[in-house]
Amino acid sequence: MYRSESGFLNKINGDIVIKNYEIPEPADDEVTVEQKYSGVCFRDILTKQGFFPRVALPIIPGHEIGGTVIKKGKNVTSVNTGDRVSSLIYVPCGKCEFCSTGQENLCPNKKSFGEALNGGYSKYVNVSTDSLVRVPAGVPEEAIPIAACVTAMLVHAIVKMGKIKKGDNVLITGAGGGVGVHAIQIVKAFGGHPIAETSSQWKEDELYKLGAEHIVHANDDFNTDVKKLGGADIVLEDVGILTFNKSLRSLKTGGRMIVIGNLNPEPVSLPLGLIILKGNTIKGSITSTKEDLKMALDLNASGNVKPVIGKKIGINEINRTYDDMLARKIFGRVLIEY
Ligand SMILES: [Zn+2]
Ligand SMILES: [Zn+2]
């Protein structure tokens, strides 16, 4: 029997309420994972704000999950107690056309942690083995919960969708955020040249330290600056309407824009002539597969990608931390420590 202080979202726009919670036995195909850390994501705030109307309330929020297996359901053979595991942010159905071709990130029947299933704001979480990847030696504990939502999501976007090659210029918008700081490292690891766009001057030194080769600013016509550097082979667009047009104009002929985030739900305008003339591609990229997650953990194990953690908090500090995240006061990701 395992109990811990766990966070609950009981109603939309309500605070996260901390409760002493006893986790149920794992189902036949699940394991109970003991977490040292779980991740806090901007998506958790959007869930609280009612952005995902189908959230099954009350729920334990959080989809950034990983740790050590401490108990197995009776059909589990793929992992053992004592194994370190990292979880996808969802449970795939395993049966659809996408799941059967290694594209489970596109599964229309997937169930997301923290929205359809109880999630990570708890020391103990039950997770289906369909979502789990074993963590190799050498991966720091802090990297485990954020691997699927951050590192592997970026591997999917930069490597699979963007098809990065050595020497590619990669413009990363919103580079000072928790996603961007990892994107810089992944671009570097694959031999690309990261160009970081940020609106926060105080983050610039840190961005250079992480490997950014140039920094451009959202308020300027940064497409002119990127053009001077030869243009972008890939844009990783993580902001939306504020940067989209300049990002598009930063692409060189044959360039790829991979859209991974959208801070503001306003639609953007799309100059069709421009993308036709330059043969540009715009693709959306959504979350990660188990294959991406394995690749991400290998990048962590080799030390090529290090987790950038801005703050470790106790579960009791979660509501205050949401305010800090909304005010963009934190550089890097936030972890809850148990
Ligand atoms: Zn996340
Ligand atoms: Zn499926």
pLDDT at 176 exceeding the cut of 80: yes
What's the pLDDT tens digit per position in 269-291? 999 999 999 999 999 999 999 99
Residue 220 pLDDT class (50, 70, 90 cuts)? confident
Whole-prediction pTM = 0.96
- Ligand 2 midpoint to CA 323 (Å): 35
Gap from CA of 150 to ligand 1 centroid (Å): 7
Mean pLDDT of 102-119: 98
Domains and CATH numbers, the chain: 3-142+307-337 (3.90.180.10), 151-284 (3.90.180.10)
pLDDT 10s digits, 196-210: 999 888 889 999 999
Residues 6+ apart with CB under 8 A from 203: 176, 331
CA distance 38 to 29: 22
Q: Which ligand is nearest to the CA of 92?
A: 2
Rounded Cα distance between 72 and 7, Å, is 24
149 CA to centre of ligand 1 in angstroms: 5
Residue 213 CA to ligand 1 centre (angstroms): 27
Between the CA of 56 and the centroid of ligand 2 the distance, in Å, is 20
Ligand with minimal distance to 42 CA: 1
pLDDT at residue 266 is higher than 90: no
The reported pLDDT for the residue numbered 84 is: 98
139, 302 contact by CB (below 8 A): no
Distance from the alpha carbon of residue 178 to the mean position of ligand 1, in angstroms = 10
Is residue 113 a contact partner of residue 90, using CB atoms and an 8 Å limit? yes
| Nearest bound ligand to the CA of residue 95 | 2
Nearest ligand to the C-alpha atom of residue 151: 1
Rounded to whole angstroms, the Cα distance separating 53 from 74 reads 34
Whether the pLDDT of residue 251 is over 90: the answer is yes
Return the ligand number nearest the Cα of 91.
Answer: 2
Distances (CA, A) of 250 to 183, 193, 284: 18, 14, 18
CA–CA separation, 151 and 104 (whole Å): 17
Distance 286 CA to ligand 2 centre (A): 14
Contact by Cβ (8 Å): 87, 66: yes
